[in-house]
A and B are shown apart, each in its own frame.
Chain A
Amino acid sequence: METALKTEAEDAEPVSEQSKAPAFSLPPKPALAVPKITPAHLSSLGIVALSLTIGVFLWWVVTEINLDLYINFENVPSPQRVFTAFIAHIQTEIFWTHIGVSMRRILISYCIAVVLGISIGLVMGRSRIARAFVMPYIEVVRPIPAVAWIPLAILMWPTEESSIVYITFLGALFPIILNTLHGVEQTPEVLVRAVQSLGASRWAVFRHVVIPAALPSIAAGLAIGMGVSWFSLLAGEIISGQYGIGYFTWDAYSLINYQDIVVGMLVIGFLGTASTAAVKGITRPMLKWQERTR
């Protein structure tokens, strides 16, 4: 993540160089961040391709020779079988339904977690009383893994769907609350004082100092929260439900359909990465000032 941000900062540099030249009376509109393809990009893409090729090749080797060296690869499907199964699945409607259902659950629970998590975090960060009141619950509930919630969630919620959404929501909630809280605590007191002396009301202090100061930390929390919500979703889908990519994976195991297990796992991995990247992409424009000042 660090290196990714750094290359973006380098990309942003020519933009700010240009903006040095004319004398401005108004701040310029932020230039659209079009990632330029540089030789450095190409070479790291090359390394990625090489790494993946080696990985798939080793996978092929161990399944081809049926390696049984403490870990047993005899029942692990080979890359070509997984690929064939994957191609077959993407032509069926039910496979897309599984993916669609999982994505919808993520979207609903994540959105609720974002709104609640940021609000709770902001309030806790600015009010000592709210913080002392809520913190014990966070401390106790946060370490409980998603799987441990399954029995109670099924008992509590009226439908299976709502219990899965609940478990997913919990996973995303805590990283978002804690990162928001941490971000608010980072607010430099001198900036609060400075804007108070410029006539800022309490609300203006919040809007122009506290929230922007917390944004980098909030953005990190949102990305972590997205990753954790996939963990939790899978736990929920394995135990209950009829659809979803987690259900698909677990069902393949029950049906001794080994290549589908790997198809399910890889799809989960891809969706999780893609959605985390989407969150980062959405939050990046709000952190433009950091790239310029790094």
Chain B
Amino acid sequence: MNRQTLAAQGHWRRPAFIAKPWLRWALVLGAVAYLAVAIGTIEVNWARVAEGMTRGLNFVAAFAQPDFLSRRGDIIDGLLESLTMTLTSTVIGVALAIPVGLGAARNIAPWPIYLLCRSIITVSRTFQEIIIAILFVVMFGFGPLAGMITLAFATVGFMAKLLAEDIEDLDWRQVEAVRATGASWWQTMNHAVQPQVMPRLIGLSMYRLDINFRESAVIGIVGAGGIGATLNTSISRYEYDTSAAILLIIIAIVLLCEYGSSHVRRWTQ
């Protein structure tokens, strides 16, 4: 019985989320089959898990009384490195993302440049920061420089993609108006394109600053400097009270960044 006849008898049933019945059932069957196979292939060492539970409890307990002081020097050094990496990489990344973003916008760039810039964006976005960090650590040695270059590289992909999308949807009438005055390419960019994308560019840069800080906390694991190295050491030494302190500091800084960036975004728009 279909919905209409049921409704005529006073039994209302809401429409299904996926309208085609065969697609709905195929998706459900596929999902069940996949889950069965996937869960079947997971190997879990339950003895090890049970053994680790006490350690898990220790970790939760450590959050109740984090230890900020006993490794104070290491934490401050790591944080300072992370923050400097975050700032410099965002500035450099955004500066490099602007030309790439202009080149990756289909409406203002010629084909060869468009393809080149799009491939830069794809490569930068596909690989996780940490993989890129491994390569840059090999090239530039351990330390924050490798981390900074990694983050700048990742920033280019992220910002350029969003900037290009923004330029692709801009109001073309303004560009035409400026062009009609006989403006050169640079003048068109400066007076017709830039004012339209600037507020969003500033907002995105703030957002990326926040992401870069979060990422700077992990690339230290592979030797690219920052608070991640300190965190990694503290976890592998089972000093959970110090790790809890570092995690709380990271959460606090991310919150501050988010609060600040929402203010800046409100101010630019």
**Bound together:** no
